[in-house]
Amino acid sequence: MRATRFDSTAPAGLTIDLAAATGDAVSSLDALHAIVGDPAAVSVDKVQDRMSRRVMDFVRRSPFFLIATANEHGACDVSPRGDPAGQVRILDQRRLVLPDRQGNNRVDSLRNLVTNPHVGLLFLVPGSDETLRINGTATISRHVPLLEQLAIRGKMPRLALIVEIAEVYMHCGRAFRRSQLWDSSSWPAKADVASMAAVLKEQLDMPGDLADLERERNEKYDRTLY
């Protein structure tokens, strides 16, 4: 990991004694329970070990999901995945197939899954405040007859994940309503949000004009999307 070459001096907007705040930590399940209490019965009972008809329909309508993995030491990673809705294939009520398409070859998720097959998935549908969570285990498949069926624009993914479901349940919409994620009036102006090219130029002292770096990156996205 390359060290960042600058120090952040932006204020956090907090007045905090960091040592005291981190020292006043919740470090046991009993202490946690004393603060948050018990979940509602429906929050416990909603967890199932297989997908229902409506859950499968939600998956089919989702063009975007997050995949969470951890390595053998417990170090975690979360990565976004996206395709036209319907590209996550449902084998049956307890198994999914996820295409793993070309990326930057860091393959953090795949490296984790080689040593620890446990996986968490969070499916989103545009405009829906409620999401779908699936936990289970994943097998990395390189089986060509399977990969050929997952091709887009004539290009098949290099690998696919076959997920065995252990838990599946809907997640409430509070986070999306609090964040106003789907409300375009709450969105910042695009020009005010740092692009990946801008962040890399700042972190790595990359030479060249930012506009040129952004154009090159967008051209690469178009060229290597599939």
User: Which tens digits make up the pLDDT trace of 116-173?
Assistant: 999 999 999 999 999 999 999 999 999 999 999 999 999 999 999 999 999 999 999 9
Distance from C-alpha of 149 to C-alpha of 155, rounded to nearest angstrom: 10
Shortest CA distance to 96 belongs to which of 130, 138, 68?
138
User: Per-residue confidence at 16, pLDDT binned at 50, 70, 90?
Assistant: confident
Q: Tokens standing for 32?
A: 């946690």
58: alpha, beta or left, given left = phi > 0 and alpha = psi -120 to 50?
A: alpha
CA torsion sign for 52, 123, 160, 112 is: negative
| pLDDT, mean over the chain | 94
**Tens-digit pLDDT profile for residues 171-200:** 999 999 999 999 999 999 999 999 999 999
Domains of the chain: 43-177 (2.30.110.10), 188-224 (no CATH)
Question: Rounded mean pLDDT of 5-14?
Answer: 61
> Crossing angle, helix 196-204 and helix 210-224, to 10 degrees?
120
**What is the value of pTM for the model shown?**
0.92
Compute the radius of gyration of the chain from its Cα atoms.
21
Q: Average pLDDT, stretch 43-58?
A: 98
- Secondary structure element (H or E) that encloses residue 213, with its range: helix 210-224
